[in-house]
Amino acid sequence: MKVGFIGLGSAGGNLAGTLLRNGVTLTVLDLDPALVEGFVARGARRGTTPAAMMAEADVLITCLPSPAASAAVAEGPEGFLQVVGPGKIWAEMSTTDAAEVQRLGAEVMARGGAVADVPVSGGVHRAATGNISVFAGCDRATFDRLLPVLTIIGRDVLHTGPLGSASVLKVMTNYLATANLVTLCEALTTMAAAGMDLATTYEAIRISSGTSFTHVTESQLILSGSRDVHFTMDLVQKDIGLFQKIAEAHGVPLEVSPLLIEIFRDGQRRFGERAQSDRIIERLEEATGLAILAEGFPKDLVDDEPEGRGAEVVPRGRPLHPGGGVG
């Protein structure tokens, strides 16, 4: 299967790298020519335009920073909508607005193509090893066609339902991760103020009911002083803003979500629009005069789980699909 990949940033570059490392015929494109050159040196083909890449590929993947960027790649003067048709799949791996991917997806399907929203979750370090989790919102037939590619990209692959459903679930998971990050910052700072050793505090959280994926990843980067999870505050704001938008559309009166939005607005005012998200701890460091640091923690996260081919995750109570998956 020939794959085109547009967007070689922190996440996209690692996802595309996993495909290339596993022998997929890959064409790449990014606004940064240096990123493209790095892939070409490793055996990828250099893409020219989204339209040309769609014409050549079986699957065109986009992994971009905003819904507007995806719209430009689809609808711009050299956008892929010009050439999409039967046999072609657009896989949108950006964290995006469900309504926007449905709008563009309708244009793809009207031209005979297939579409899926396919966001990932689990951190850049797991994207680099093919062990990230993948959500896929699309019809079952499209999911079955995409599954061989998705099980290279990720370890756990979940068919979430119709187009747009994966994007809804993805912003929910990012909202939870953000809430957890803020509460971990408060917990670590309070323990430091109380005189507790922060390395011991880390372990106490890790082995307790208070642990989480966010703790065993981002707390380490906070304590090492790195504060570089390769995810910036503007991306946090985009994701939690999308979650708030979903809640408002359905009349859910959230209380924590608006506070998180304001906390990260304040973080952006202090540290910059595109500051690393883990620097949110520095608001509390400034307020207390404490340094939330400890010896022995890594500057960068490394996924030490061996790379392996992924598989579909079957939700509980879901009947088996005749093809072996779930309906």
pLDDT tens digits for range 153-195:
999 999 999 999 999 999 999 999 999 999 999 999 999 999 9
32 vs 10: CA distance, rounded Å: 12
Q: Who has greater pLDDT, 49 or 319?
A: 49
φ, ψ for residue 168 (rounded to 5)?
-60, -45
- Tally of CB atoms within 10 A around 233: 22
For residues 34-48, average pLDDT: 98
Residue 34 has pLDDT above 50, yes or no: yes
260 in Cβ contact with 236 (< 8 Å): no
Residue 325 has pLDDT above 80, yes or no: no
Cα pseudo-dihedral 308, 310, 311, 312, rounded to 10: 160
Alpha-carbon distance 252 to 248, whole Å? Answer: 6
Query: What percent of the chain has a predicted confidence (pLDDT) above 70?
Result: 97
Task: Please tell me which residue, 324 or 188, carries the higher pLDDT value.
Answer: 188
pLDDT value of residue 12: 96
Query: Taking a C-beta distance cutoff of 8 angstroms, is the pair 105, 87 a contact?
Result: no
| Spatial separation of the C-alpha atoms in residues 80 and 2, rounded to whole Å | 16
pLDDT of 321 = 58
The mean pLDDT of the chain is: 95
Q: How far apart are CA 180 and CA 175, in angstroms?
A: 9
Sketch out the chain's domains with CATH numbers: 2-163+305-313 (3.40.50.720), 168-288 (1.10.1040.10)
pLDDT tens per residue across span 65-93: 889 999 999 999 999 999 999 999 999 99
Which pLDDT score, from 0 to 100, does residue 323 have? 46
Residue 188 makes CB contacts below 8 A (sequence gap 6+) with: 198, 201, 219, 222, 223, 281, 292
pLDDT bracket for residue 307 (50, 70, 90): confident
Confidence of residue 53 (pLDDT cuts 50, 70, 90): very high
Separation of CA 214 from chain center: 14
15/119 Cα distance (integer angstroms): 11
How do residues 212-265 score in pLDDT, each as one tens digit?
999 999 999 999 999 999 999 999 999 999 999 999 999 999 999 999 999 999
Rounded Cα distance, 137 and 145, in Å: 13
Q: Tell me the backbone φ, ψ of residue 31, rounded to 5 degrees.
A: -65, -20
The model carries a pTM of 0.92
Give the residue-averaged pLDDT of 124-148: 96
Residue 60 has pLDDT above 70, yes or no: yes
Distances (CA, A) of 304 to 127, 196, 290, 309: 12, 29, 32, 15
Distance (Å, whole) CA 4 – CA 13: 13
pLDDT value for 320: 60
